[in-house]
Structure 1
Amino acid sequence: MNHEREELDSWKRKFSRKSSIFKRVSKQAQTKVNQWIPEKAHNVVTESIKKMVEVTLKGSEWVPLQQVSVKSSLKEREALMKERVEFYRKAATIEGAGTGAGGIFLGLADFPLLLSIKMKFLSECSAIHGYDTKQYEERLFLLYVFQLAFSSDSHKKHVLDIIENWDVEKEKLKELDWRTFQQEYRDYIDFVKLFQLIPGVGAVVGAYANYQLLDQLGEVAKYAYRIRYFHDIE
């Protein structure tokens, strides 16, 4: 287990590094743009994403336990997670290429479809580690793993702290900050996904972007659940 712990510590150190100039400038620009958007528009987007995520999470009850085995060792669990991320990565790549090839209208449809794929993957990760996604706190944990993958560097540090202290923090968290959730996610992927709406290159960009986004989510999920694994055995 020493190797796994050292690997985890090395991964966590990435979050303490200072953001690149490009990332800081991009975040500042996105924050400024968000300030120009009317409050009513923010509320509509926030509510839309909230409902979209809630519907997806309710659908997480479809994970068949006979297909997602609960393994006893960390190595076995992570091997199964790797299989699932490869499966969903392929699904996301095909979906991104298809919607990207369709231009702006199908490109916009990619947003809820990709979100659903990500949530399904996270729900299976939870089942692999023996957690019950019918419990509210476990569904909430999925959303924090999601934010750890798709947020600004400063917000990721805050989310990582919550995940590392989940047993304490979950008692305080009754409701997710949906406004922050949607802004962080939207700002994170907007720049790349906008190119998916361009006819001619959308299919290539969509496939590549979705592949990378699922790959990134897979890595974050691996270490987020590794944190909980070590906490549970201590």
Structure 2
Amino acid sequence: MTPYEEMAYLELLTWQFKMQKKPSLTNRLAKGIQNRINNVIPEKVHHVLTVTIEKMVKAVLFGAKYTTSTKLAEDASFLLRESYIKQQITFYQKTASVEGAITGAGGILLGFAEFPVLIGIKMKLLFNIASLYGYNVKDYRERLFILYIFQLAYSSQQRRNEIFNVLQHWDRYMANLPVQADEFDWRTFQQEYRDYIDLAKLAQLIPLIGAAVGAIANYHLLAQLGETAINCYRMRILSKPLLSTQF
């Protein structure tokens, strides 16, 4: 490994340790409260949310406009790839921050309208990251990998442990992936995502402070997604010999 790859590998080990932590007492209490709230919400509401998010994410995952031309030469170094990726993360953080400030200033209606827009920004970033690492985002399996990254970034610690195990052994799990997108567990996906961002985003709907909260929340949500994506791809790449033919 080059010095940069060694540094990246050490960062990966630290991140892996964090991902595999057992849920803390605070995590368990927060998740318990959220579960009680979810149990009170009518099933029809859950169904509407599930279908809405399912359609939004499917549009992103399988829509032609989310293929990307962001590529590097096959022999590009790992350092160069990650330099471009970090630039992309910064760009999308700023984009999401501006978008959050605008919708936060617009009140409740614009606040609710922002959710599909924000998901689109996050997915576009993930597609660009995958492509810059050299993976073919037109491949259905790579798009599902992107979806698992998204879940890992925005799930409770308990669910995070389960998803991390899938991503850590991706080659093994790839053989058992759903053949059709309809077989994916959309209910768990939307519920974990919604529960995770509730606290960060609800304050965005409050008049006067909504713009500031929206900008800060979106900036940090994109930073977290970027860090998760980088380490997920490092886990695939740095656990194998770094051969240019692999990319």
Which TM bucket (shorter chain)?
Answer: over 0.9
Give the partner amino acid of 1:102: G
With 39-48 and 219-228 compared, the bigger mean Cα shift is at: 39-48
Select between 144-153 and 35-44 the one with higher mean Cα deviation: 35-44
User: 1:187 aligns to what?
Assistant: 195
Moved more, 13-22 or 76-85: 13-22
How far apart in 2 are the matches of 1:133 and 1:64? 7
Which 4+ residue blocks in structure 1 deviate beyond 4 angstroms?
60-64
Match of 1:15 in 2: 19
Please state how far the C-alpha of 1:10 moved relative to its aligned partner: 1.2
Q: Which structure has the higher relative contact order (CA within 8 Å, separation 6+)?
A: 2
Cα shift at 1:19? 3.2
Report which stretch shifted further, 79-88 or 30-39: 30-39
- Whether the aligned pair in 1 keeps the contact of 2:94 and 2:219 (CA below 8 Å) is yes
Unaligned runs of at least 5 residues, structure 1:
none
| 1:215-226 equivalences in 2 (<5 Å) | 215-226=223-234
SS at match of 1:84: helix
| Counterpart in the other structure of 1:73 | 77
CA–CA distance in 1 between the matches of 2:176 and 2:192? 21
In structure 2, what is the equivalent of residue 89 of structure 1?
Answer: 93
Q: What is the aligned counterpart of 1:177 among 181, 185, 189?
A: 185
Which secondary structure state, in structure 2, belongs to the residue aligned with residue 131 of structure 1?
coil
**TM-score for the superposition, normalised by structure 1:** 0.94
Letter in 1 for 2:34: Q
1:184 maps to a residue whose letter is: E
Instruction: List gaps (5 residues or longer) in structure 2.
Output: 243-247
* Number of equivalences: 233
Which is worse superposed, 51-60 or 150-159?
A: 51-60
SS at match of 2:188: helix
The 8 Å contact of residues 140 and 176 in structure 1, kept in 2 or not, is answered as no
TM-score scaled by structure 2?
0.89
For residues 26-65 of structure 1, the aligned pairs below 5 Å read 26-59=30-63, 61-65=65-69
* Contact kept? 1:96, 1:207, Cα under 8 Å: yes
Q: Provide the residue aligned with 2:245 in structure 1.
A: none
- Residues 70 and 77, structure 1, Cα contact 8 Å, conserved in 2: no
- CA gap 1:64/1:172 in 2 versus in 1, 3 angstroms: closer
* Residues 231 and 60 of structure 1: CA distance in aligned 2, closer, same or farther (over 3 Å): farther
Partner of 1:159: 163
Secondary structure at 1:233 match in 2: coil
Identity in percent? 47
1:9–1:60: structure 2 CA closer, same or farther, 3 Å change rule?
A: farther
